[in-house]
Amino acid sequence: MVKHISKQESEIISTRREFLKQFGFGAAAAGMATPLLDNAYSAPEQKATGRRVKYRVLGKTGLRVSEIGIGGHSWAYKQVPDGQEGFRRPTVNEAVRMIAASMDMGVNFLDSCTALEESSVPGEALKRLKARDKVIVSIRVSHKMKGVKADKQEIYKWTEDRLKLWQTDYVDMCLLCNTENDTPQSGYWDMSYSIEALDKLKQQGKIRFTGFGCHFRPELFLEAFDKFGDYFDICSIPYNVRHRAAEKLLPAAKKKGLGVITIKPFVRGALLKDRDLKGTEAGLPRDLIAFVLENKLVDICTCGVHTIEQVRENLSASWTKLSEVRRQRLKKLAATFIGDREYAWLEQGWLYA
């Protein structure tokens, strides 16, 4: 039987082939015995909505990516009601169903952040779905750009650990991440040794593209675009209806050809806290993502999810056009003060465009 390969799949396949060819994996590059053409995953539980997310081009990587990505983080948080008045993490079986449903709706971008327990979940899910080569995998290496020689060994180790957890021999993207408190001694952005390490990992065929994204002030992003924008392929920036400073930064990122991945559409749920999402405020998460996607300089909006209902709701943002009433609802939401100390950095530097 002839298998039909979607345009999205064929582009991932061809970029993967080029990558393999470049690094001399001959048989695989020729398409022999690779799982690339094996349409092995299926999501029987996915409601057949027939709707699929749209795609954008991720800056100079040239990759065609789903405009909504599924983030990490949430795999590690105990946020799923456990039926005994407590909470638990999503199980791997649940992750399999969520990732399969996302892929059925066109998602081809999976992110993971820092925690080891988080990174093990999507890797195991992809293995069970036999779908590693059908998605773009992005890892984030945290606190490893201090401008000291030891950065290199830390980045190698961090990457090797994540390759094991993702059960893969390469990742598509590796993003360097810091918080502002990590590196004042090096003027915040001394990436010299980190770049050396990334170059070596690229030569070894372990990573394809590189990027950066941090809990930093917007001005420091501008500085980084200037100093390092020619080297990196991608940047990752917080952006939501309340924290809109990204609007000032995106033109500068695009000038350097950087792909833009935005994070924090819900400030990790803080913008949704205490809202009646099943009642009058139903559809708010979808609208929050639709707001981010209205900005055509954004390439991917990445969100964390805990349940399959959240997956369906969030992905529907791709075909949601905001009405005036919904826009007014978002405007009201944007006035919500976020008191959680964890997000003080967002409240201080990122409030307005």
Ligand X SMILES: NC(=O)c1ccc[n+]([C@@H]2O[C@H](COP(=O)([O-])OP(=O)(O)OC[C@H]3O[C@@H](n4cnc5c(N)ncnc54)[C@H](OP(=O)(O)O)[C@@H]3O)[C@@H](O)[C@H]2O)c1
Confirm or reject binding of residue 329 to ligand X (CB under 6 A).
no
Say whether residue 211 binds ligand X (CB under 6 A).
no
Nearest one of 165, 30, 34 to 92, comparing CA atoms: 165
Stretch binding ligand X (CB under 6 A), from 3-11, 69-77, 93-101, 128-136: 69-77
Q: Binding to ligand X by residue 259, rule CB under 6 A?
A: no
- Residue 90 interacts with ligand X (CB under 6 A): yes or no: no
Considering the complex, what minimum distance in angstroms separates the CB of residue 254 from ligand X?
20
Instruction: Name the minimum Å distance from CB 153 to ligand X.
Output: 21
Whether 287 contacts 317, CB under 8 Å: yes
Give the span between the Cα atoms of 94 and 109, in whole angstroms: 18
The answer to whether 241 touches 330, Cβ cutoff 8 Å, is: yes
The verdict on 268 binding ligand X (CB under 6 A) reads: yes
Number of Cβ within a 10 Å radius of residue 322: 17
Query: Between 72 and 349, whose beta carbon lies closer to ligand X?
Result: 72
Scan residues 92-151 and list those touching ligand X (CB under 6 A): 111-113, 140
* Number of residues lying near ligand X (CB under 6 A): 30
Structure tokens given for 148: 């000291």
Using the minimum distance from each CB to ligand X, give the nearer residue, 20 or 171.
171
Q: Which of 164, 157, 124 is nearest to 143 (CA)?
A: 157
Contact 238, 261 (CB under 8 A): no
Beta bridge partners of 110: 70, 137
Among 59, 72, 211, 218, binds ligand X (CB under 6 A): 72
Residue from 305, 315, 333, 346 touching ligand X (CB under 6 A): that is 305
Residue 71 interacts with ligand X (CB under 6 A): yes or no = yes
Query: What percentage of the chain's residues is helix, strand, coil (to nearest 5)?
Result: 40, 15, 45
Among 306, 343, 345, 350, binds ligand X (CB under 6 A): 306
Asked whether the beta carbons of 268 and 240 are under 8 A apart, the reply is no
Taking the alpha carbons at both ends of the chain, their separation in whole angstroms is 54
Binding residue (CB under 6 A) for ligand X from 165, 177, 245, 330:
177
CA distance 9 to 172: 15
Residue with tokens 């930064």: 249
- With binding defined as CB under 6 A, does residue 183 bind ligand X? no
Question: Is 318 among the residues that bind ligand X (CB under 6 A)?
Answer: no
349 binds ligand X (CB under 6 A): no
Question: Which of residues 269, 331, 342, 352 is near ligand X by CB under 6 A?
Answer: 269
Near ligand X by CB under 6 A: residue from 28, 263, 293, 330: 263
Both tokens of residue 112? 């993971």
Using Cβ positions, the residue closest to ligand X within the complex turns out to be: 71
Residue 102 in 3-state DSSP?
helix
Tell me if 229 contacts ligand X by CB under 6 A.
Answer: no
User: Would you say 125 and 96 are in contact if contact means Cβ atoms under 8 Å apart?
Assistant: yes
- Nearer of residues 140 and 329 to ligand X, judged by Cβ: 140
Smallest separation, CB 340 to ligand X (Å): 12
- Name residue, tokens 């029987």: 44
* Chain positions contacting ligand X, by CB under 6 A: 71-74, 79, 111-113, 140, 177, 213, 236, 263-269, 272, 277, 285, 302-306, 310, 313-314
